[in-house]
Structure 1
Amino acid sequence: MNDPVLELLRTRPELAELAAFPFNFDIDRADHVEDVRLASGGPLEPVAGDDNGGTYFVCGDGAVLYASSEGDAVLIAGSVTEALETIIRLPWWCEGIRPGLDEEQLLAAVREGDEEAREQFAPELDAQRAALLSGLGLPERPLVELAAMAESAAERTEPDHVLLNAEELGAYRLPGDPPRRSLRDVVLAPGREALERMRSGVPGSWEEVGADAVLRAGVVRAAQYDRREDDLPLLRFLLERENTERTEWFEEGRLAAVLVGLHGHLEDVPLLRAATGGGVTDAAGAVDWARTEDAERHGQDPSTQSEFTWIELARRQGRTEHARVALIRMLDDTGPDAARLQELSRALERLGDHAQAARAQFDLLSLQDTGWDRAAEAHVLARLERRKGDLRAARGALERARAAVGLDGAAPDETVSEWHRRGLGRMITEQHLELVLTAVEAGDADLARETMRHGKVLLGRIAKQFRSSLGDLPARATWAVARLGRGPK
């Protein structure tokens, strides 16, 4: 980190001493209480600490993140220079500082806090502040500007600067209640803007939405929560495009059909029949169907929509970090709820975060009551552990899968009596063979050979059609292990 102010502190001990006391920015306390990393995977460097066990980190974009020893973390400035300005001129002991104060109110709050600081622990405060500001070459900004900069930084904590415990992968909390934009508003914004352009007849706006399935999904959602009688022509247009493209995301197409059907126009019946697979055949039936669907699945209150709706839309929009952070915070707040854990695990896997997906999957596996369910979820855990690079954990998950179906001497329950004749046997076998190939590639010959032994047993047990459906995977795994004996040790 080459911030000039930080370099000054590192090369001029007298300035570093002033920053450490009384302003509690101590470059000799840069060791945090635990290993941490950013959820985004970005660079993170600890540069200073305070006497409460908190740590100041510099992120890859130069922004400064403060993490307490109690599990809170928030962005405090866009650079070390800005952070020091704020720390020195709006110091920690000024408890009267709060959002919304004007310049005079901030000055009064600082004067009151400074007076107490002089009496209790820093009688030379004024000289110390002046010397540090001068030595670091910091500007004399208005306090209201500094406060606004700090507030703006806090708002940028999510999604790119969320701190995780590196081992358990839980996210640090945002302290207090800092202002932040909801994920729903983030992902709906493009659709809302495009909807207004379409309503206003902006040239090319309809063509733009028609050609972009992701933007169109946002427009349909925006129209759901902002319904207008004169929107019927554009709703028809959206539904026609959904009927034509038939993307894998059918939910917005169904919603567009509901919004059109609520108008009850006879000429829309062919569109609705196509959208509902023949479920709607006349105008009266269209209205009844649309009202029922709307009441049961949609409605006009966005707060009733599943959080996963916004997460999936964020993923489709390329807002990977927004989706990741939302899922991690949901996982942190999820107890022993198998259905929710499974949905989180699958969503995190789709996002490519195999470590967090494995975290959710591990908890999910512990909640399974039957041998079949334990085997099914254990094979998923094995896949996630392998993809995140923890091959020993993948081996452990496969051990649990084998135990669940009665291999390795375990006593299975009646739910898995036909496991080898059904798809579960294929899935468990496939994960063994995939782990063999990954272990060979990683140079772990012992793990590869051990897993292949179990893989051969499984290949001998599962039904013939399932062995055939594995393609050349068994042969590739077999040859990979065979070559271990001839290759370099």
Structure 2
Amino acid sequence: MTDRVLELLRTRPDLAELAAFPFNFDVSRAYHVEEVHLASGASLEPIAGDDTGGTYFLCGGTAVLHASSDGYASLVADSVGEALEELIRLPAWCEELSGELDEEGLRDVVRAADDEAREEFAPDLDAQRAALISGLGLPDRPLVELLALSEAATRRTEPDHLLLNSQELCAYRLEEPYRQRLRDVVLRPGREALERMRSGDPGARAEAVADPVLRAGLLHAARCERRDSDLPLLRSLLRLELAGASAGRADRYEERWLAAMLVGSYGQADDVPLLRAATSGQITDSAGAVAWARAEEAKRYGQDSAGRDEFTWAELAHRQGLVEHARVALIRMLDDTGPDAGRLRELSRALERIGDHAQAARAQFNLLSLQDTDRDRASEAYVLARLERGKGDLAAAGRALERARTAVGIDVGTGTGTGTGTGTGTGGGVGGDPSDGTVAEWHRRGLGRLITEQHLELTLAAVEAGDAELARTTMAHSRRLLGTIAKNSAKALRELSTRATWAVAGLGRPGT
């Protein structure tokens, strides 16, 4: 359904002209300086422009987002009508607006700014404002309420309205005071549960027993807001984590370690057996427990671990179902990451876990460019292929696999591609390729199986997408790889290979 106010502006040239000047909402400039989209995948429609190259967008058919030409974007209103109210009654030339002002204070600021506007460029401002408000049927809200609506909208920019450059996938910036702290978002349930447990609420413990995600947030809340009286409840949480490990829930090792660290920091002799079990025997006495806890905390949560904490909050957000919150945090981290291989690898894996293959591929592409050995290039290239395939760019996946084959030497010359180079740089690789020696015997190890598996998966994806040429080319490489890698690896891939073979056979002969 079309927004009523937007429809009026599109069908009433007189109103559109007033909105464009002097209020700088020009529906004839409904385009942006570059291609953009929302990280959340919600719909995005340019509806107007301003005289600085900025653009107003309709998000999800209702909310209005403004993107500047210098890389900032924020939500401004929940509807086009509300956005026009703000622009007309709190116009851009009012630079002294503040949420600390009362109604009369805001009116004084607007009057003063309007006086200057009349002298400089809008002598008929009062008549223009009245005509536009009347023509659009806008309400007469108190300025305090209108400013509060505007600021509340801006604070809701993240996570659902994060704007991305569609080519580079970098995020538009948002002024720091309006950004949500992910730590506060994900710790809120844990803090509430912690306070209930501290007060002796039996229902809180029952909830923690039943919900390992809540328990994770509770433990992190206890780490951030410690009390000497928390030891009994921390012991109970550690026992719950140990019980989970005994039941086979090995994926949450981090929480067990955190609970042990918190209990160990108290240095109580009675806790040593519990801590010994939690740390696989690392702790044997109370003094050792304190030393271990301090060392672990310094390593995991010390002053140099702020970036590590961001991964913790992003992972916890994902587990809580707050996928968009996690996505925003990880994209912002990626935008701020330089040539740091370890951080890029972690970002790539974290983004893949939340299902954002495009951003994961961006991180992985940058990671691949930093590798300086054949083994590392091959290892990161096959991961890039998996991510490119996941985001639907099959051609890019094919290029990534080409880089993997080149790294192991199988695409060089006319050799067999066994990659047994000596690393001397004198033609020890396949077909005379100078190898650095780091991929010797790659075909007999897991790397060969992984690279081959990605070729077969890409073959199937290409068939499904109707790209016969890519499917046939990739299958030809797959056959060569299957004849090169160890027999046990080829056997493990037999079912996948058979499916790929039949899929390509179903395409018929080339040219038919």
TM-score by length of 2: 0.92
Matched residue, 2:488: 465
SS in 1 for 2:81: helix
Instruction: Note closer, same or farther for the CA distance 1:471–1:367 as it changes in structure 2 (3 Å cut).
Output: same
SS in 2 for 1:306: helix
Note the C-alpha offset of 1:200.
1.0
SS in 2 for 1:416: coil
Matched residue, 2:427: none
Contact 1:224/1:299, CA 8 A, preserved across alignment: no
Give me the whole-angstrom Cα distance separating, in 2, the residues matched to 1:64 and 1:168. 23
Matched residue, 2:373: 370
Instruction: Note closer, same or farther for the CA distance 1:59–1:272 as it changes in structure 2 (3 Å cut).
Output: same
Give me the whole-angstrom Cα distance separating, in 1, the residues matched to 2:11 and 2:374. 63
CA displacement, residues 288-334 of structure 1 (integer Å, 9 cap, x when unaligned): 32233233334699957531111111111111011101111111111
Of 358, 362, 369, the residue aligned with 1:355 is 358
Matched residue, 1:69: 69
Matched residue, 1:421: 444
2:233 pairs with 1:258: no
Instruction: Note closer, same or farther for the CA distance 1:81–1:459 as it changes in structure 2 (3 Å cut).
Output: same
Note the C-alpha offset of 1:421.
1.2
Letter in 2 for 1:76: V
Note the C-alpha offset of 1:469.
2.2
Letter in 2 for 1:443: G
Letter in 1 for 2:58: V
CA displacement, residues 468-488 of structure 1 (integer Å, 9 cap, x when unaligned): 222411111111111211799
Q: Any gaps of 5 or more consecutive residues in structure 1?
A: none
Contact 2:158/2:180, CA 8 A, preserved across alignment: no
Matched residue, 2:114: 114
Instruction: Note closer, same or farther for the CA distance 1:109–1:345 as it changes in structure 2 (3 Å cut).
Output: same
SS in 2 for 1:178: helix
Of 450, 458, 467, the residue aligned with 1:444 is 467
Of 475, 478, 483, the residue aligned with 1:455 is 478
Decide which moves more: 312-321 or 95-104: 95-104
Decide which moves more: 442-451 or 261-270: 261-270
Matched residue, 1:180: 179
Note the C-alpha offset of 1:282.
3.1
SS in 2 for 1:249: helix
Instruction: Note closer, same or farther for the CA distance 1:386–1:309 as it changes in structure 2 (3 Å cut).
Output: same
Note the C-alpha offset of 1:16.
1.1
Give me the whole-angstrom Cα distance separating, in 2, the residues matched to 1:98 and 1:408. 64
Note the C-alpha offset of 1:428.
0.7
CA displacement, residues 420-447 of structure 1 (integer Å, 9 cap, x when unaligned): 1111111111111111111111111111
Note the C-alpha offset of 1:157.
0.3
1:60-459 aligned at under 5 Å gives the runs 60=60, 62-174=62-174, 176-246=175-245, 247=249, 248-298=251-301, 306-409=309-412, 411=433, 412-459=435-482
State the number of aligned residues. 488
CA displacement, residues 208-248 of structure 1 (integer Å, 9 cap, x when unaligned): 01111110001111111222222111111100100000231
Matched residue, 2:45: 45
Note the C-alpha offset of 1:179.
2.7
CA displacement, residues 143-172 of structure 1 (integer Å, 9 cap, x when unaligned): 111111111011000000010111111111
Identity %: 69
Letter in 2 for 1:349: E
Letter in 1 for 2:411: D
Contact 1:154/1:178, CA 8 A, preserved across alignment: no
Matched residue, 2:26: 26
Decide which moves more: 297-306 or 241-250: 297-306
Contact 1:225/1:301, CA 8 A, preserved across alignment: no
Give me the whole-angstrom Cα distance separating, in 1, the residues matched to 2:447 and 2:457. 15
Give me the whole-angstrom Cα distance separating, in 2, the residues matched to 1:337 and 1:487. 45
SS in 2 for 1:250: helix
Structure 1 vs Structure 2 CA RMSD:
1.8
Contact 1:54/1:69, CA 8 A, preserved across alignment: yes
Give me the whole-angstrom Cα distance separating, in 2, the residues matched to 1:336 and 1:452. 35
TM-score by length of 1: 0.96
Letter in 1 for 2:321: G
Letter in 1 for 2:3: D
Matched residue, 1:7: 7
Decide which moves more: 228-237 or 433-442: 228-237
Note the C-alpha offset of 1:273.
1.6
Letter in 1 for 2:205: W
Letter in 2 for 1:432: H
Give me the whole-angstrom Cα distance separating, in 1, the residues matched to 2:312 and 2:454. 30
Decide which moves more: 263-272 or 375-384: 263-272
Contact 2:99/2:144, CA 8 A, preserved across alignment: no
Letter in 1 for 2:182: L
Give me the whole-angstrom Cα distance separating, in 1, the residues matched to 2:463 and 2:53. 44
Note the C-alpha offset of 1:280.
2.0
SS in 2 for 1:408: coil
Letter in 2 for 1:115: D
Give me the whole-angstrom Cα distance separating, in 2, the residues matched to 1:50 and 1:286. 62
Contact 2:30/2:55, CA 8 A, preserved across alignment: yes
Letter in 2 for 1:400: R
Note the C-alpha offset of 1:279.
1.8
Contact 2:75/2:156, CA 8 A, preserved across alignment: yes
Decide which moves more: 358-367 or 405-414: 405-414
Give me the whole-angstrom Cα distance separating, in 1, the residues matched to 2:126 and 2:63. 28
Instruction: Note closer, same or farther for the CA distance 1:70–1:445 as it changes in structure 2 (3 Å cut).
Output: same
Letter in 1 for 2:49: G
Letter in 1 for 2:461: T
Q: Any gaps of 5 or more consecutive residues in structure 2?
A: 414-432
Give me the whole-angstrom Cα distance separating, in 1, the residues matched to 2:169 and 2:287. 53
SS in 1 for 2:69: coil
